Amino acid sequence: MHSKFGFLSYEISHIIRQRFNKAAEPTGFTHAQWRALVHLSENQNCRQIDLAEILEIKPITLVKQIDLLEEAGLVRRNKDSEDRRAYRLELLPKAHAVMQQLWEIADAVEAQVLKALAVEEQHTLNALLERIKTDINAKSSSEELLGSMVPP
Amino acid sequence: MHSKFGFLSYEISHIIRQRFNKAAEPTGFTHAQWRALVHLSENQNCRQIDLAEILEIKPITLVKQIDLLEEAGLVRRNKDSEDRRAYRLELLPKAHAVMQQLWEIADAVEAQVLKALAVEEQHTLNALLERIKTDINAKSSSEELLGSMVPP
DNA sequence: TAAATATAATAAGCAAGGGTCATTATATTT
DNA sequence: AAATATAATGACCCTTGCTTATTATATTTA
């Protein structure tokens, strides 16, 4: 029998995104922007390219999300004083209020989705997923390393 | 500390889809069509609306996937003899050959992604996700039931 | 130090996956 | 018979992400 981890993880995360987007609709923010906000708050004043790497999306994909967050007054692009090509992303005060609201939605959606599991099982699940994620990241950076050692 | 199950499951399934789509590119099928094929093979001769419900997508979204699978000669729409509005979806012989090839890709991608976990841990992970999925399905059908008992 | 190369942000335009709303042809209920 | 519900689908839109190319700087190399 084949494993269905791929389908399962996709289906569950799809449900989470759908429910989040629906519940967050009045705020005007989507799950993708929410993800950017959370990672930005954990890496304040980073450059766009850094945040893109953290989010594992291409810089051009992030540009549009930042545009939206900037229009909404949650984020400001500050010129990097040391590199005139780059911007530093600043999380504005308004962002914290919005994020509090979005965390409530995110937590509620997640609790609903995970309610079939005991708290201990939820920890196990998260720990297993964290290990998968860490391993993937480690592998891709060792590949990058390998790539840089074998120039074209 | 907030749980990040939503982000984790999204990120991992996104990686799986990306890798699958890349590896399956020569076959001309995407992960969404692959998912439809697998669920159809487990529910042969069902109607489009049934398959859409199984896949948790809207019927109109499925229409396009079935169009592609039909063009590729993997699926045939047969008129339902009891309901002239409906089609029954038949998996053609060619589908089985293609699916064998796609299972190899899917299994390889999954093995790569899950390789940080011991086989036993992989089983635990799948079992936990299955329980989440089952619980969500059970809840949504009881909601439907409830809905039908309280007409608008 | 001038020239080649790399990098940060971004514009233009595309793909995949999914959705809403409306339509047509049947079924089912009233 | 008339009203309502349902299966498939057409027209068109959204979200998230991508590739390729451009501009303005930085950095490296010859």
Give the distance from CA B137 to its chain's centroid.
Answer: 14
List, for residues A122-135, the tens digit of each pLDDT value: 999 999 999 999 99
Q: What is the pLDDT of residue B142?
A: 58
Task: Please tell me the predicted confidence (pLDDT) of residue A49.
Answer: 97
Contact A29, A98 (CB under 8 A): yes
Antiparallel, parallel or unpaired: β A87-91 and A75-79: antiparallel
Helix or strand or coil: residue A7? helix
Q: Which fold does the domain A11-115 belong to in CATH? A: Arc Repressor Mutant, subunit A (1.10.10)
Is the CB of A48 less than 7 A from some atom of nucleic acid strand C? yes
> How many whole angstroms separate alpha carbon A22 and alpha carbon A36?
18
Residues of B in contact with A114 (CB under 8 A): 3, 5, 132
- Asked if B32 CB < 7 A from strand C, the reply is yes
Give the CATH number of domain B9-116.
Answer: 1.10.10.10
Q: Tell me if B6 and A14 make a contact (CB, 8 A cut-off).
A: no
For chain A, give the longest Cα–Cα distance.
Answer: 57
Q: Which residue of A has its CA nearest to B121?
A: A128
- The string over B37-58, giving b where at least 16 C-beta atoms fall within 10 Å of a residue's C-beta and e elsewhere, is bbbbeeeeebbbebbbebbebe
Residue spans per domain, chain B: 9-116, 117-152
B2 contact residues in A (CB cutoff 8 A): 103, 106-107
Mutation target for A interface from B3, B4, B8, B9: give the one with most A CBs within 10 A: B9
Nearest residue to B3 (alpha-carbon basis) of A38, A40, A25: A38
pLDDT (tens, 9 = 90+) of chain B, 152 residues, equals 899 999 999 999 999 999 999 999 999 999 999 999 999 999 999 999 999 999 999 999 999 999 999 999 999 999 999 999 999 999 999 999 999 999 999 999 999 999 999 999 999 999 999 999 999 988 665 555 444 333 33
- pLDDT digit string, tens, across residues A23-42: 999 999 999 999 999 999 99
Instruction: Say how far B115 CA is from D20 C1', in Å.
Output: 34
Count how many residues are written for chain B. Answer: 152
